[in-house]
């Protein structure tokens, strides 16, 4: 991010270390007895776990633990709770808000070796697995059984399902299958004091008392460590089609979406958009080319259904109408070879942006009619002080990814962006975090999306479940008064 060595987060953001215990030789010896060969202490071994995927934040942990079982996680947390040692739970470390790496010297608890599939029921489509299973591996396993995971995102090759649940990740399939709050049926979680909470139900209907799993979905490792997940998986569609379109204005992107929903109905599974600047960066840095002519905006539509001929006919009819009415200036229905290429164009925008230097990333929910206005206003506000201001996202569920690039990190540029971006979002009754979470970078801006009473209640939950505050400190919530 401007240089190979990322400045430690605590130095860049002037954070004060909380009074947790310091790691001692006796602590390391205990963990080595508990899980021999799965304790990392060497500086080079630990280094990749200390830096986030974007290389924008860096911690100073000296210890990485790799448990394989819930019992081991339980013993680790019980010990850390007694010793007042802070713990940073970490999955695939693909988060984008600084929530997955330490701020100071927190012990990193990696779920990388908790990667076993526990069971899969072909009748109900319910998968039970450990938290460290990689999303793409799970999808490959399910496809062999005629099913798919209900979520799909660009980081699928390395993100863990436990991390997905802990951050309530959204992604490309949310329009069709909904959020993890609906598809996750049960969780197994280890609490801060080491006690294991087994809510790993495989029932779609369970109305007995409070739905405790919802507390941990989206809690970003601050309330407990997710060790296993029960999730409802849809059947694999027999027919998947993609259309890649060019639109001359954002108003036409919106109108195309309205027409698309009306004509494609139940088979519509994704509606993604990107601006021409995104396409330019993907072409320049990743050598991918657009299947349609140059346009100010591009749209990727995915349909999923059970009858290939029926779906293709509906998609072609839609495309003909969109072209004839002038909504779409160019478009193609993707064949198998082009399908992969078209989806890569959208999925790899984040990767292309990292080649531009430092990236300021914002994940916003807005009323769809105002979605691109924020990009336009931010370009006008920043002028030449930013290299690029680009917008893309999941238009089907009102989720904008606003990205601003610069040669290197600049505090003055950050001041020009924040809190303006959050104030703008709040005025439109939007959310400052649609799917990435708050992590370290956004925790002090939560008030732009949640009233003070709600934040106070969250802080009470945190104090009740983690009274010593050892789980993922400095993240998600501002400190309680």
Task: Give me the mean pLDDT over the 281-287 stretch.
Answer: 91
> Quick one: pLDDT at residue 14?
85
Which tokens belong to 345? 């164009």
Cα 369 off chain centre by: 24
pLDDT confidence tier of residue 336, bands split at 50, 70 and 90: low
> Quick one: pLDDT at residue 335?
62
> Quick one: pLDDT at residue 2?
39
Mean pLDDT lowest among 115-124, 328-337, 398-407: 328-337
Task: Give me the mean pLDDT over the 384-410 stretch.
Answer: 94
Pairing relationship of beta strands 107-110 and 87-90 according to DSSP bridges: parallel
pLDDT tens-digit map of 422-433: 999 999 999 999
Which tokens belong to 362? 């914002």
Calculate what percentage of the chain has a pLDDT beyond 70.
Answer: 97
> Quick one: pLDDT at residue 154?
84
* Res 324 pLDDT > 80: yes
The fold for domain 239-428 equals Alpha-Beta Plaits (3.30.70)
> Quick one: pLDDT at residue 85?
98
* Res 337 pLDDT > 70: no
DSSP state, residue 160: B
> Quick one: pLDDT at residue 86?
98
* Res 50 pLDDT > 90: yes
Closest CA to 89 of 27, 166, 16, 33: 166
**Where are any strands of DSSP class E within 133-292?**
184-190, 196-199, 225-232, 239-247, 268-275
* Res 327 pLDDT > 50: yes
Task: Give me the mean pLDDT over the 363-373 stretch.
Answer: 95
Calculate what percentage of the chain has a pLDDT beyond 90.
Answer: 82
Domains of the chain, by residue range, sit at 9-110, 117-232, 239-428
Closest CA to 245 of 234, 230, 255: 255
Given the candidates 3.30.2310.20, 3.40.1500.10, 3.40.50.1820, 3.30.465.10, the CATH classification of the domain at 117-232 is: 3.30.465.10
pLDDT confidence tier of residue 172, bands split at 50, 70 and 90: confident
| C-beta of residue 23 within 8 angstroms of C-beta of residue 73 | no
Which tokens belong to 202? 């495989």
Given the candidates 3.30.43.10, 3.90.1150.10, 3.40.50.300, 3.10.450.50, the CATH classification of the domain at 9-110 is: 3.30.43.10
**What is the reported pTM?**
0.92
As a whole number, the mean pLDDT across the chain is 93
> Quick one: pLDDT at residue 6?
75
Query: What is the distance in angstroms between the CA of the first residue and the CA of the last residue of the chain?
Result: 34
**Distance in angstroms (rounded) separating the CA atoms of residues 345 and 340:** 9
* Res 1 pLDDT > 60: no
pLDDT tens-digit map of 132-158: 999 999 999 999 999 999 999 889 999
């Amino acid at each position: 991010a401007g240089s190979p060595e990322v400045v430690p987060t605590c130095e860049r953001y002037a954070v004060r270390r909380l009074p947790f215990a310091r790691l001692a030789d006796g602590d390391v010896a205990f963990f080595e007895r508990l899980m021999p060969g799965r304790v990392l202490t060497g500086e080079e071994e630990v280094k990749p776990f200390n830096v986030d995927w974007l290389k924008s934040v860096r911690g100073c942990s000296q210890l990485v633990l790799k448990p394989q079982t819930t019992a081991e996680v339980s013993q680790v947390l019980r010990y850390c709770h007694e010793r007042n040692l802070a713990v940073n739970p970490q999955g695939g470390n693909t988060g984008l808000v600084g929530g997955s790496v330490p701020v100071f010297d927190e012990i990193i608890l990696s779920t990388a070796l908790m990667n076993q599939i526990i069971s899969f029921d072909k009748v109900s489509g319910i998968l039970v697995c450990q938290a460290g299973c990689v999303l793409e591996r799970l999808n490959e396993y399910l496809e062999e059984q005629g099913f798919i995971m209900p979520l799909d995102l660009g980081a699928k090759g390395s993100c863990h399902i436990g991390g997905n649940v802990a951050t309530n990740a959204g992604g490309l399939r949310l329009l069709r299958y909904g959020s993890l709050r609906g598809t996750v049926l049960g969780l197994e979680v280890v609490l801060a004091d080491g006690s294991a909470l087994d809510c790993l139900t495989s029932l779609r209907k369970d109305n007995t008392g409070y739905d405790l799993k919802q507390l941990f979905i989206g809690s970003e490792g601050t309330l407990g460590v997710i060790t296993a997940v029960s999730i409802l998986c849809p059947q694999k569609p027999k027919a998947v089609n993609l259309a890649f379109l060019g639109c001359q204005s954002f108003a036409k992107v919106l109108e195309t979406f309205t027409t698309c929903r009306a004509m494609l109905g139940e088979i519509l599974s994704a509606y993604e958009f990107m601006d021409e600047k995104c396409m330019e960066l993907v072409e320049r840095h990743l050598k991918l080319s657009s299947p349609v002519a140059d346009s100010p905006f591009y749209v990727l539509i995915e349909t999923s259904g059970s009858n290939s001929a029926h779906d293709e006919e509906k998609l072609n009819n839609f495309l003909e109408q969109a072209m004839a009415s002038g909504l779409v200036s160019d478009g193609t229905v993707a064949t198998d070879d082009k399908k992969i290429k078209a989806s890569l164009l959208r999925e790899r925008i984040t990767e292309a942006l990292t080649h531009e230097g430092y990236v300021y990333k914002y994940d916003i929910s807005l009323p769809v009619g105002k979605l691109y206005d924020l990009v336009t206003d931010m370009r006008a506000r920043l002028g030449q002080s930013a290299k690029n201001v680009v917008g893309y996202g999941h238009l089907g569920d009102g989720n904008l990814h606003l990205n601003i690039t610069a040669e290197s990190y600049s505090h003055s540029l950050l001041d020009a962006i924040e809190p303006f971006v959050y104030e703008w979002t709040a005025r439109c009754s939007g959310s400052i975090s649609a799917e990435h979470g708050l992590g370290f970078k956004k925790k002090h801006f939560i008030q732009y999306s949640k009233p003070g009473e709600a934040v106070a209640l969250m802080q009470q939950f945190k104090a009740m479940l983690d009274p010593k505050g050892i789980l993922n400190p400095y993240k998600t919530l501002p400190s309680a008064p």
